[in-house]
Structure 1
Amino acid sequence: MTPPTHYAVEYAINPWMDTSTPVDVRVAHAQWENLRQTYLALGHRVDLVEPVPGLPDMVYAANGGFVAHDIALVARFRFPERAGESRAYADWMSSMGYQPISTRHINEGQGDLLMVGEMVLAGYGFRTDVRAHPEISAALRMPVVSLELIDPRFYHLDTAVAVLDDRTIAYYPPAFTEAAQQQLHALFPDAIVVGSADAYVLGLNVVSDGLHVVLPSAATGFAAQLRELGFEPVGVDLSELLKGGGSVKCCTLEVFT
């Protein structure tokens, strides 16, 4: 995780961002700290990445790359406003003992790359270039399933899909093309289908350890669906971070060992 020390909405690169809406950095930091403490209370380890001045979106650590087993893939961002984050996250990966791998084409890390068991679901359409998917598959030595996003409100895959365990996902069908919806249904016929009310508060932007699902507290309908299936939803308020187009998962780069 990266503290929101320099967090601000200084530009608009997704539909959630409105430069005319003020951001309270004090509240954002308190909400972010509550998320960090939630992870610690659930028994997880949280490493911190040093925030860099001039990179207000760096708080959305998930976009910094993809780390699984002995492989660390660093992001290549679409927008120049975020380009500097690649170096910051590569430096962190190096400090952790990894040798960061870059892709030739644009990839926005765990924003568009979600591991489910021994495969990776990979989004494209707004940020990550589909041409990066074969590169990613080769680097990670894992199969990659390409899924096209069509609603700009769900500009990253992690806004439209939640990975709950190695076999279970939840998703919001209207975020995807018909072909992508069919792919998801074929792979996960028992997936949770989430409604618009929960999707529109980025309710699918979650982190799950297979039992506890940390999710935006406003996604009450999704929380009820999770309880019915035996998961334990843990709601957190990240309303200030939502102003930049992110929530729980966006603020969390998961490291799979």
Structure 2
Amino acid sequence: MRTVVARAAAPRRYLMCPPTYFRVTYSINPWMDPGKPVDLPLALTQWEDLRDRYLSLGHTVEELDPHPDLPDMVFAANGATVVDGRVLGARFAHPERSAEAAVHTEWFRAHGFTEVREPEHINEGEGDFAATASWLLAGRGFRSSPLSHPEAQEFFGRPVVGLDLVDPRYYHLDTALCVLDGDEVMYYPGAFSPGSRAVLRRLFPDALIAEEEDAAALGLNAVSDGRHVLLPQAAVGLFGPLRERGYEPIGMDLGELLKGGGSVKCCTLELRC
């Protein structure tokens, strides 16, 4: 029997962007269908529920002003990666989102971040970079360039571990893997190449392994503060295993934002200072 660990939540600082102009008028991932209209008032209510839950848990939420020509800005996690107060900006793979990068960079420079790097190579922020206590995990295969990995390693001074994504439904690392606390993660093996699965088993032998049904509900697009894990409420198979490990899962309904291919984590950029 697994011993339940007493977990402690650490106050976090997050950057979010309200879905004021969110819509699905193009398709750049398998979740997006322009034929399925977005209920914008509902999307805003769902986003506000997530923001308010963070605040109720004692976290700080900064807000990025939305732009009418950038409907995917609600997925703020893609705009940068922040580690030790250093900011590696994004360079988007698709032209539909490319202008978001400058908006994020301007926000960081205007809010006291002095070490801000505009990247040379394509990366989509925390969509494909996930920081554990020991490593920076880095996805590739659909969006981010493998060349972004050494760039991040040089900038952050942290060892970067590249992971190959092979299922287009899990086009970003944050749809297939979530950092829970320290070097503890949960992930869906089917999203990764055989070699990357072997690397994950070696690095995280005690990881929580998600089943296909929960991964397909974007259950791994989650945010943990070390105790509470906010995740899509439809990923019911993850709630019990998380509780067994001492976490408190909190189900969130972001069904309207799922129409754009994102959920809890996609809406949340962590400001690690």
TM-score, normalised by the number of residues in structure 1 = 0.99
Q: Distance in 2 between matches of 1:89 and 1:129?
A: 20
Which residue of 216, 224, 241 maps to 1:225? 241
Matched residue of 1:147: which SS?
strand
- Quick check: 1:166 aligned with 2:182? yes
Which residue of 214, 234, 242 maps to 2:230? 214
For 2:39, the aligned partner's letter is: D
Aligned to 1:43: 58
**How many residues are matched?**
257
- Quick check: 1:72 aligned with 2:72? no
Matched residue of 1:145: which SS?
strand
For 2:81, the aligned partner's letter is: F
Aligned to 2:34: 19
Which residue of 137, 150, 161 maps to 1:121? 137
Matched residue of 1:250: which SS?
helix
For 2:80, the aligned partner's letter is: G
- Quick check: 1:187 aligned with 2:208? no
For 2:122, the aligned partner's letter is: I
Q: Distance in 2 between matches of 1:92 and 1:10?
A: 26
Residue 70 of structure 1 and its aligned partner are, at CA, apart by: 2.5
For 1:57, the aligned partner's letter is: D
Q: Is the 8 A contact 2:137 2:162 kept in 1?
A: yes
The structure showing larger relative contact order (alpha-carbon pairs under 8 Å, at least 6 residues apart) is 2
Q: Distance in 1 between matches of 2:81 and 2:267?
A: 13
Residue 143 of structure 1 and its aligned partner are, at CA, apart by: 0.6
Q: Distance in 2 between matches of 1:23 and 1:236?
A: 18
Aligned to 1:52: 67
Q: Distance in 1 between matches of 2:87 and 2:95?
A: 22
Root mean square deviation of aligned Cα:
0.7
Matched residue of 1:57: which SS?
helix
Task: Render the CA deviation track for 1:150-206: whole Å, top value 9, x for unaligned.
Answer: 000000000000110002100000100000000000000000110011000100001
Aligned to 1:6: 21
For 2:214, the aligned partner's letter is: D
Aligned to 1:104: 120
Q: Is the 8 A contact 2:134 2:183 kept in 1?
A: no
Q: Distance in 2 between matches of 1:70 and 1:192?
A: 29
Q: Distance in 1 between matches of 2:134 and 2:203?
A: 13
Give the ranges of 4+ consecutive aligned residues of structure 1 lying more than 6 Å apart after TM superposition: none
Q: Distance in 2 between matches of 1:199 and 1:118?
A: 25
Structure 2: stretches of 5+ with no match in the other structure:
1-15
Aligned to 2:258: 242
Structure 1: stretches of 5+ with no match in the other structure:
none
- Quick check: 1:198 aligned with 2:211? no
Residue 251 of structure 1 and its aligned partner are, at CA, apart by: 0.1
For 1:20, the aligned partner's letter is: G
Q: Distance in 2 between matches of 1:38 and 1:95?
A: 26
Residue 118 of structure 1 and its aligned partner are, at CA, apart by: 3.0
Aligned to 2:160: 144
Matched residue of 2:267: which SS?
coil
Q: Distance in 1 between matches of 2:142 and 2:183?
A: 26
Aligned to 1:92: 107
For 2:162, the aligned partner's letter is: S
Q: Is the 8 A contact 2:221 2:266 kept in 1?
A: yes
Q: Distance in 2 between matches of 1:171 and 1:69?
A: 25
Task: Render the CA deviation track for 1:53-91: whole Å, top value 9, x for unaligned.
Answer: 110000000000001113111100000000010011001
